[in-house]
Structure 1
Amino acid sequence: MQQLSLFENNQLDRITNVSSVPQRSPFRYPGGKTWLVPRIRQWLDSLQKQPSEFIEPFAGGGIVSLTVAFEDLANHVTMVEIDEEVAAVWHTIINGDGEWLAAQIVNFNLSQTSVNTVLTVNNILIQEKAFKTILKNRVNRGGILAAGAGTIKSGENGKGLRSRWYPETLKKRIIEIMKRRERITFIEGDGMEVLKANAHRTDAVFFIDPPYTAAGKKAGSRLYNYSEIDHEELFRLASAIAGDFLMTYDNTEEVRQLAQKHGFDTQTVAMKNTHHAKMTELLIGRNLDWCR
């Protein structure tokens, strides 16, 4: 298949050109996995048969789950997210009134005053919370939703708040997701519990991308409202999965030790962070021969 050419000659140090990956998500998500999409395709293509269900316990911006749904890489996709703001967006698009959300976005007259008005209103309906979340995600620096994040100042080419506000593009992405929502289930809840409840299934695969709070880095606490998880327990749950799984983590000694303790295979893969600095992340699975 054409996508495998990205991995010929073991070139895992080749950084994915994210502009070559279809942008499906309405979010610009800190820690997003657009750069990993070609590896996700390769992983799923390496399996003996197409999974009945693809489960992402920490969905966030959802680019991986959306890619799987759009490209028919699994029969069904289940996205799980505990953050109530992010969940409001997925509820609205997948289970609710996505047309309203799309219309609200394209009809919004964006200014500092209108943004402040929306962001200071509380006790709102779920679709209104969805709009507020998309707006906050687009006007905050780095797309950060966690408390304390500031809004964009000068932005790109002096565009300020409009630097990441693309209403027609956002509308199109929402409508395209809605066309495929019969193939997507969204659950607002604890990804660890969903993983535990489905670990026995041989027909399901899991993509596990937890908040980055391991190894003392605590980056997740700055980026996400829900950043604390029990990483030891997560690895224990992963070891009980009957089907296949792929995890991605910060490339740290602590994480490597956890993987070794549970007999998992590891592989570093190159990526760039939001500041375009080259970094490596760690892929973790039972057998990663498919990416070597």
Structure 2
Amino acid sequence: MSTSMRQHKKPIISPLRYPGGKASLYPRLRTLVRANAMTEGTYVEPYAGGAGAALGLLITGEVQRIVINDLDPAIYSFWLAVTKHPGEFSQMVKTADLTVDEWLRQKEIYSIGSPENYLKLGFATFYLNRTNRSGVLNGGPIGGMDQTGNYKIDARFNKEGLIERIRLLALHSKQIKVTNSDGLAVIRKYSSRHNTLIYADPPYFEKAGSLYLNSFMDSHHSTLAACLNRAAGSKWLLTYDNVPRVAELYRERRREIFSLNYSAHRVVKANEVMVFSDSLVLV
């Protein structure tokens, strides 16, 4: 079965930029939430990253609660900081210097990576995400170190717009649970719960190293497949790059091909695959 995912009519809520982010799947996920009577339920992302789809569903009232989980302590620190201290975080955004010198300072904070000071680490993570090329945390600044590129370091740092996104998050912070666990543990925990939908978007097979700091080896993909296949009676869906290995690992599950625009370095359209648990009602 083949379909083309619509790239419009999606709320842009997440303050983070993510190459391959899944906010554009919002229309499809909204349809699945409604078809499975999950509007009073909990939506879980074990590999959240930018959590664009989760936040879109929450803020438009499609689900009541979301769980944002990320094993990367820097991404976790960002979500914890922005939900626990939105006012202080917004002030840091408002007063941020958008210069290469400040980029170097934030890069050092990020590199040291002290999660005990999650506000400081969370802001450094956010700063690099908004000022780096394509939002890749281990990349360089937009415009280069000499700022001679077509775009400068402030090109993706619209302070007013970002503060508004943080304000919206703050209004719903009591409905957001942020965790720093292994994705498998999160899937095992929530797959047995009633009225819960899990959307797993793990690191992909190809080019994962350039997009994710916590990339997977083949054994990780196999372990994840075993976990999800055992939970076929729960409500979950999974997205991957469309490679033959996915069809092997999930040969007994329903699968659907879709297209998605990526913006890492340049905009390209890629075919991906969505896998569904047996109990998920499809429309």
TM-score after normalising by structure 2: 0.88
The 5 Å alignment of 1:22-171 reads 22-50=11-39, 52-94=41-83, 96-121=84-109, 122=112, 125-145=117-137, 147=138, 149-153=139-143, 158-171=150-163
Letter in 1 for 2:140: G
Give deviations 1:29-81, integer Å, cap 9, x for gaps: 12201221111111111114535221110010011111121122223211111
* Percent identical: 23
SS in 2 for 1:60: coil
Higher helix share: 1
The corresponding residue for 1:251 is: 242
Q: Do the aligned partners of 2:23 and 2:56 also contact (CA within 8 Å) in 1? A: no
Name the CA shift for 1:170/1:265 in 2 (closer, same or farther; >3 Å).
Answer: same
The corresponding residue for 1:4 is: none
> How many matched pairs?
271
Name the CA shift for 1:49/1:103 in 2 (closer, same or farther; >3 Å).
Answer: closer
* Pair 1:264 & 2:264 matched: no
Mean Cα deviation higher: 114-123 or 135-144: 114-123
Quick one: distance in 2 between partners of 1:266 and 1:159? Answer: 40
Quick one: distance in 2 between partners of 1:67 and 1:251? Answer: 25
SS in 2 for 1:40: helix
Letter in 2 for 1:81: D
Give deviations 1:176-226, integer Å, cap 9, x for gaps: 1010011111111111111112222232110010011x3xx2x22122211
Backbone CA RMSD of aligned residues: 2.2
Letter in 2 for 1:221: G
**Structure 2: stretches of 5+ with no match in the other structure:** none
TM-score after normalising by structure 1: 0.86
The corresponding residue for 2:228 is: 238
Quick one: distance in 2 between partners of 1:270 and 1:123? Answer: 35
Letter in 1 for 2:65: H
Quick one: distance in 1 between partners of 2:113 and 2:134? Answer: 26
Name the CA shift for 1:62/1:49 in 2 (closer, same or farther; >3 Å).
Answer: closer
**Structure 1: stretches of 5+ with no match in the other structure:** 1-9
Deviation at 1:134, TM superposition (A): 0.8
Quick one: distance in 2 between partners of 1:56 and 1:156? Answer: 39
Deviation at 1:156, TM superposition (A): 11
The corresponding residue for 1:3 is: none
Deviation at 1:256, TM superposition (A): 1.2
Q: 1:17 aligned to 7, 27, 42, which one? A: 7
Q: 1:197 aligned to 189, 192, 200, which one? A: 189
